Structure 1
C-alpha cells in the first residue's frame, strides 16, 4: 500500500567514526615516572656574585646579580672599584 520513495531508500546515516579513548595511566607507564627524569644536582652553595658596570650617559654605576647597586653618577674607574669592594665584602 504505502511505498517509500526512492530518495528515502538511498538516504543512509553518515558513517560513525569510532570513538578514541585514552589509554589508562597505568597502562601507558611501563616504568615509574621518576626513572625517566634526570637527577637534579645536589643543592650546593649559592652562586657567587657577578658584578658589572652600567653606563648612563657620561656616568657609570656598579650592579650585582644579588640585587646590590652601587652609588650612581660615578666615573667608570670608581664604579669598577665599587664592584670590586662589593665582591670582597663578606
Structure 2
C-alpha cells in the first residue's frame, strides 16, 4: 500500500484518515500517517481499531 508523502506522525494537528482493506479472509485498518492495525477476521474489529487510532492523542 502506498503511503502519502508529507505527513508527519508527530504533528498534533494532523488529521488521521483511516480505511479498511480486505486481504483474503482478513481485514486490516490503515491510516494515511503510516499506521497499520492487526489483521482481523471480523471487519467490525478492524473498524474499531481504526476508530481507536484516529482518536489517540
Asked whether the two chains share a fold, i.e. TM above 0.5, the reply is yes
Give TM-score, length-normalised by structure 1: 0.46
Unaligned runs of 5+ in 1: 1-44
Q: Distance in 1 between matches of 2:29 and 2:16?
A: 12
Task: Identify the structure with the greater strand proportion.
Answer: 2
Q: How many residues align?
A: 46
Is 1:63 the equivalent of 2:14?
A: no
* Partner residue, 1:80: 47
Which is higher, the Rg of structure 1 or of structure 2?
1
Displacement over 2 Å in runs of 4+: none
Query: Which structure exhibits the higher relative contact order, with contacts defined as CA atoms closer than 8 Å and separated by 6 or more residues?
Result: 2
TM-score scaled to structure 2, two decimals? Answer: 0.71
Question: What is the alpha-carbon root mean square deviation over aligned residues?
Answer: 1.5
The 2-side partners of 1:87 and 1:47 are apart by 10
Unaligned segments of structure 2, at least 5 residues = 1-11
- Secondary structure of the 2:21 match is strand
- Correspondence for 2:17: 50
1:84 deviates by 0.2
CA distance in 1, matches of 2:30, 2:52: 12
